[in-house]
Amino acid sequence: MASTAEPGEGIRLEELQLATRNRGMPLEGLRYDVTPIGMHYLLVHFDIPDVDADSWRLRIGGLVERPLELSLADLRRRPARTLPVTMECAGNGRARLDPRPLSQPWLVEAVGTATWTGTPLAGILADAGVRPDAVELVFTGADRGTQGDIEQDYQRSLTVAQATAPEVLLAYEMNGRPLEPQHGFPVRLLVPGWYGMTSVKWLTAIEAVAAPFEGYQQIEAYTFRESDDDPGQPVTRMRVRALMIPPGIPDFYTRVRSLDPGPTTLRGRAWGGFAPIVRVEVGIDGVWAEATLGPPLGEHAWRSWTYDWLAPPGEHTLSCRATDADGTTQPTVPAWNVKGLANNLVQDVAVTVRA
Amino acid sequence: MASTAEPGEGIRLEELQLATRNRGMPLEGLRYDVTPIGMHYLLVHFDIPDVDADSWRLRIGGLVERPLELSLADLRRRPARTLPVTMECAGNGRARLDPRPLSQPWLVEAVGTATWTGTPLAGILADAGVRPDAVELVFTGADRGTQGDIEQDYQRSLTVAQATAPEVLLAYEMNGRPLEPQHGFPVRLLVPGWYGMTSVKWLTAIEAVAAPFEGYQQIEAYTFRESDDDPGQPVTRMRVRALMIPPGIPDFYTRVRSLDPGPTTLRGRAWGGFAPIVRVEVGIDGVWAEATLGPPLGEHAWRSWTYDWLAPPGEHTLSCRATDADGTTQPTVPAWNVKGLANNLVQDVAVTVRA
């Protein structure tokens, strides 16, 4: 199978099948500090498994002194932490690449922010006693399928240092309610700042291992590669990105926006997993100006921004781009890679301002 | 703009933009009697509006004796009724038509069942006193945009007799919770048995009128037409349809299923808006056999079914089709129409049974 579409080729049936199962956040959802559960983006690799909460157990084993088997009630009795966390799919932006890698065809909308509640993983790992010869922890989900011709449970790993960061949770509530099935019921890993593939849903096992994990999702699916034989670099944290609520009203089919001339406030959110957002700029037909940042919601959540625009009649292209405290900003030319990952190309919104 | 894709043309950017905003129910969601809120299908014509529940009012006017203006609290004080209702998008199946009408490109997954709570519309209309010269009620939503070159609030109508059926609700809860924004917060119309376009979300006004409503969504968008100059027939109730939970495990990209040989139980749901489901058949490579119906969930909700299959090794195509009490069943050749509506073509699921 070719791994990319032909030049100019429309979306294939296989891509559409994924797009109708998975779901982005409609961009007007950027108005909410915390995304309603049913508006949060969702990417499911295989099927949403049917997990019985009463018989569900999380097994912590491998290179640990004291293997554990924990029920949902056991996890809920442990210290709880609640965090607003912005999560984005690593494939966000894939369908804007040329040639287009064949997978879930996201444009820009694979993001959301939820208030997650769970117990810190570090405490559980301390109770289990991770042995000094363990270098990574492998997280296994209950979802099973075939990818890259390999039948597999969904699995990802973190180093011991990454896994014991204080913000890493075993999460059992989203926006104050038990997880819905599609978001990992009864318990998922939550790794703030990282792309969503890291936050393994429907968690069943955590295994401490002596060598870096080489599973499909770790060394094949989520790596930056320039060609098929490039071993590549792992995808980790979310690249810096800003998105705008498209202003005015839409055309149903084209989604082109119409609005009245005069003062209008453009609004959006910006986030990134490497460093705090320090700047958002708005582009009006390619001329950039500073937006105003709103108050932070939390260390791992998106930041709101506004920009007052005096809209003149005519056709315009509105853009936005974020910059983080490391000085990293968004590209205007996308960085292509084989799997179509982490394309944080600047968003453009076409608007017609009425005469 | 051409209204259909070219022969063999892939999905266009405009269609993809709709597919990433709107969302189907992953078919494994058929396992739930009541669909979790975040898994229910969603089709939004324009944008999800930002409605303030405190200042929101529903105005009932036009040809009524006593115009009303009701708050959310007013509606909640009225008699409440809770109903499990299966809702399907009228465009479900559109992307399986050839040539493909250009709009939201659903395959088969635009369906869900929720437990809706609201107050019967009939009581409100009785309080308002619909005058004898009124023939229809026009329902207006808060979502606004352009479609067919017409700027419009989303509007649909029902005859007085249709609107006063006892199961028609002004719904303010879904699965026991206030509506999420994308499902019509604070109040939506709910018309069980009809395709979803009838159940106007973000309801702001109900107007009794003396002549059949001729708005875009009523006489243009949702009509069965064989050509652009055919005035067409209105789309009303849901056509009979069965869907199957794809058995086994999926391939990530192709969604082709793998399973072990031997006994397996195929499961799914069937529904229709004209008459109760009386029969579901399962096709194994084109040979049809009777499935077993589960207990009814309610007059307006889907019906579960099962079929025990002794899966032999090899490649197979599994199908299902429902028949209602009127004797209507699903076609194996789709009925094409200009807008790509109500295509209840039999579902096929490709499976590989391992040797």
- SS3 label, residue B128: helix
Tell whether the model's pLDDT for residue A9 goes beyond 90. Answer: yes
CB B46 within 8 A of CB A252: yes
CA distance B154 to A297: 34
CB-nearest partner of B45 from A14, A151, A252: A252
CB A19 within 8 A of CB A11: yes
Tell whether the model's pLDDT for residue B154 goes beyond 60. Answer: yes
The structural domains of chain A, ordered by start, are 13-234 (3.90.420.10), 241-353 (2.60.40.650)
Residue A54's Cβ-count burial label (10 Å; 0-12, 13-18, 19+) is exposed
Task: Transcribe A62-93 into DSSP letters.
Answer: ESBSS-EEE-HHHHHHS--EEEEEEEE-TTTT
pLDDT digits (tens, 9 = 90+) for B179-224: 999 999 999 999 999 999 999 999 999 999 999 999 999 999 999 9
Q: Using a CB-CB distance cutoff of 8 angstroms, which residues of chain A are in contact with residue B255?
A: 14, 17-18
CA distance A199 to A219: 16
Tell whether the model's pLDDT for residue A17 goes beyond 80. Answer: yes
CB neighbour burial string for A81-111, b if at least 16 within 10 angstroms, e if fewer: bebbbbbbbbbbbbbbbeebbbbbbbbbbbb
pLDDT digits (tens, 9 = 90+) for B73-94: 999 999 999 999 999 999 999 9
Task: Transcribe B160-183 into DSSP letters.
Answer: HHHHTSTT-EEEEEETTEEPPGGG
Which whole-number Å values give the CA distances from B66 to A51, B75, B124, B128, in the listed order? 53, 17, 11, 5
Q: What is the pLDDT of residue A1?
A: 46
Contacts of B341 (CB under 8 A, 6+ apart): B90, B91, B94, B195, B222, B223, B224, B235
Q: What is the pLDDT of residue B228?
A: 87
CB contact under 8 A, A109 and B21: yes
Q: What is the DSSP letter of A218?
A: I
Q: What is the pLDDT of residue A2?
A: 55
- Strand-pair category, A347-353 with A257-259: parallel
For residue B219, the surrounding DSSP H or E stretch is: none
- SS3 label, residue B198: helix
Contacts of A62 (CB under 8 A, 6+ apart): A134, A138, A207, A208, A209
Mean pLDDT of chain B: 97
CA distance A114 to B50: 19
B3: left (phi over 0), alpha (psi -120 to 50) or beta: alpha
What is the value of ipTM here, to two decimals? 0.96
Q: Using a CB-CB distance cutoff of 8 angstroms, which residues of chain B are in contact with residue A1?
A: 253
Mean pLDDT of chain A: 97
Averaged pLDDT, A91-110: 97
Averaged pLDDT, A220-231: 92
- CA B345, B346, B347, B351 dihedral sign is negative
What residues pair up with A170 in beta bridges, in sequence order? A119, A189
- CA A154, A159, A161, A162 dihedral sign is negative
For A96, nearest residue in chain B (alpha carbons): B13
Q: Using a CB-CB distance cutoff of 8 angstroms, which residues of chain B are in contact with residue A183?
A: 38
CA distance A143 to A265: 43
> If we measure between CA atoms, which residue out of B147, B16, B90, B102 comes closest to residue A20?
B16
CB B85 within 8 A of CB B171: no
What residues pair up with B350 in beta bridges, in sequence order? B317
For B21, nearest residue in chain A (alpha carbons): A26
pLDDT digits (tens, 9 = 90+) for B100-140: 999 999 999 999 999 999 999 999 999 999 999 999 999 99
Binned at pLDDT 50, 70 and 90, residue A132 comes out as: very high
Contacts of A294 (CB under 8 A, 6+ apart): A303, A304, A305, A306
CB-nearest partner of A146 from B18, B145, B252: B252
Q: What is the pLDDT of residue A5?
A: 96
For residue A103, give how far its alpha carbon lies from the nearest alpha carbon of chain B (Å): 6
Give the angle B275-B276-B281 at the CA atoms, nearest 5°: 115
Residue A122's Cβ-count burial label (10 Å; 0-12, 13-18, 19+) is middle
**Which structure tokens are listed for B259?**
């399973």
**Which structure tokens are listed for B256?**
């082709």
Averaged pLDDT, B25-54: 98
Residue B205's φ and ψ, nearest 5 degrees, are: -150, 150
Q: What is the DSSP letter of B49?
A: -
CA distance A259 to A309: 12
Residue at token pair 């609201």? B118
Alpha-carbon dihedral A176, A182, A186, A187, rounded to 10 degrees: -80
pLDDT digits (tens, 9 = 90+) for A276-296: 999 999 999 999 999 999 999
CB pairs A-B closer than 8 Å: 168
Q: How many residues does chain B have?
A: 355
> If we measure between CA atoms, which residue out of A334, A317, A320 comes closest to residue A279?
A320
Averaged pLDDT, B30-35: 98
Q: Using a CB-CB distance cutoff of 8 angstroms, which residues of chain B are in contact with residue A23?
A: 20, 22-23
CB-nearest partner of A37 from B38, B95, B251: B38
Binned at pLDDT 50, 70 and 90, residue A228 comes out as: confident
CB contact under 8 A, A10 and B9: yes
CB A222 within 8 A of CB A233: no
Q: What is the pLDDT of residue B2?
A: 55
Reported pTM? 0.97
Residue B120's φ and ψ, nearest 5 degrees, are: -60, 135
Q: Using a CB-CB distance cutoff of 8 angstroms, which residues of chain B are in contact with residue A11?
A: 10-12, 15-16
CA distance B182 to A39: 7
CB A163 within 8 A of CB A135: no
CA distance A191 to B178: 30
Residue type present at position B111? V
